[in-house]
Amino acid sequence: MAPEKLTPAPVPVEERLFSLVLALLATETGLTKNEILSTVQGYRQRYRSGGDNASLERQFERDKDDIRELGVPLETLESPGDPGNNQQLRYRIPRTAYELPADIAFSAAETTLLNLAAMAWREGSLSRESRRALLKLRSTGVETTEPVLGYAPRIRTRDSAFEPLSTALARRVSARFLYLKPGDPAARMRTVAPLALVQHQGRWHLKATDLDLDEPRTFLLSRISGAVTLGRKPLDLPAADYAALALAELDAIWDANVAELEVQNGTDAQLRLSRRRGAEDAGDGRIRLHFTDTALLADELAGFGPEVRVLGPAQLVESVVDRLRAVSAAHRDTASGTTAPGTTSPGIEQEAR
């Protein structure tokens, strides 16, 4: 009797993205999708030679969107001998587009601080597999002597709630935490049955059942405050692919919400927003942008200042205006030597039913 094949341990998403960026930086000619899925850490563990890899290909498509949103210049190249064949597309990250401009230099003290920060990031956030990423790259036939830290991607670290919620999922127990809904004056305690942790558009979400309301919810981990407390009694949960359901729900919200923006040409806002997944050039300096959460997008757009003017929808316009007014008021109060009162900004709760 043949021994049962063990399911490989899941690779953390930030490790997978890091390995993908390293692999695409190390090649001048690019890698095909099949080469990536069969060799790069985080994909190769689930790759089936000659089998169905549809779910893995969808994961790769989401990962491409995520690293592009992080500002990584991922390029797609057609095969000269077979144009139009998507299976022969090659992917790469040109180093010249990812390196610092030639006119930027650091002093010796600044370089030391950057190296210390990079070492802390590497040791605190990357697993042993990621620290050996260059060795793994050589197994694909790629030779490189470039230091890993020279091309460290700007990947967000996990939210503090991730680990305890991951433990709750593994133990199939309940979790309690304070959750701050946009527009509310204070966080409210939630007791939930965790179902899945998923990353969507570069942010971590928890799909769960709110045990007090007996209703499904999707929570944004960055809005969880304080410690997460775990229950002790195992929960009886029906079997389902909750991660796929959560991603489908978030994708539906993202697809339904469209912002129309007027962006100044040649600005940082124009560069970043035009490269977003699903961004559409509407002409006359306008961009249509899909989004999942009004409050998060309003925070980001307000940060661009005069480079962006929000034309719609109305709730997004109001949220951005409120944030800009709050900033203006804070500066006026600071100049006059008074303290601005606390303000809250409206937004939508990141909960998908």
For every residue of 322-338, DSSP letters joined together read HHHHHHHHHHHHHHHT-
**pLDDT for the residue 320:** 94
**pLDDT for the residue 146:** 46
Q: What pTM value is reported for the model? A: 0.57
DSSP H helix total and E strand total for the chain: 12, 12
| Segments making up each domain of the chain, as ranges | 13-151, 162-241, 257-336
**pLDDT for the residue 252:** 94
Q: At what angle do helices 314-336 and 294-303 cross, to 10 degrees?
A: 50
Give burial (CB, 10 Å; 0-12/13-18/19+) of 265. Answer: exposed
pLDDT in tens, the chain (353 residues): 444 455 556 677 777 888 888 888 888 788 888 889 988 888 888 888 888 888 888 889 888 888 887 778 888 888 766 666 777 789 988 877 666 666 666 676 776 666 666 555 544 444 444 444 444 444 444 444 444 434 444 444 568 899 899 999 989 999 999 999 888 889 999 999 999 998 888 789 999 999 999 999 999 999 999 999 999 999 998 888 898 899 999 999 999 999 999 999 988 888 889 888 889 999 889 999 999 999 999 999 999 999 999 999 999 999 999 999 988 888 776 666 654 444 433 333 333 32
Copy the structure tokens of residue 29: 């000619």
Query: For residues 345 and 326, what is the distance between their CA atoms, to the nearest angstrom?
Result: 9
Copy the structure tokens of residue 168: 């709750």
The number of C-alpha atoms within 13 Å of 122 and in the hemisphere containing its C-beta is 18
Query: For residues 16 and 3, what is the distance between their CA atoms, to the nearest angstrom?
Result: 28
Q: Are 311 and 286 in contact (CB under 8 A)?
A: yes
Copy the structure tokens of residue 275: 């490269």
The domain made up of 162-241 is a member of CATH 2.30.30: yes
Query: For residues 299 and 301, what is the distance between their CA atoms, to the nearest angstrom?
Result: 6
Helices (H), 231-279: 242-256, 268-274
**pLDDT for the residue 123:** 46
Q: Are 109 and 123 in contact (CB under 8 A)?
A: no
Phi and psi at residue 48, in whole multiples of 5°?
-115, 110
Q: Are 196 and 249 in contact (CB under 8 A)?
A: no
Helix (H), strand (E) at residue 180: none
Type of residue found at 335 = A
Query: For residues 163 and 244, what is the distance between their CA atoms, to the nearest angstrom?
Result: 20
**pLDDT for the residue 353:** 29
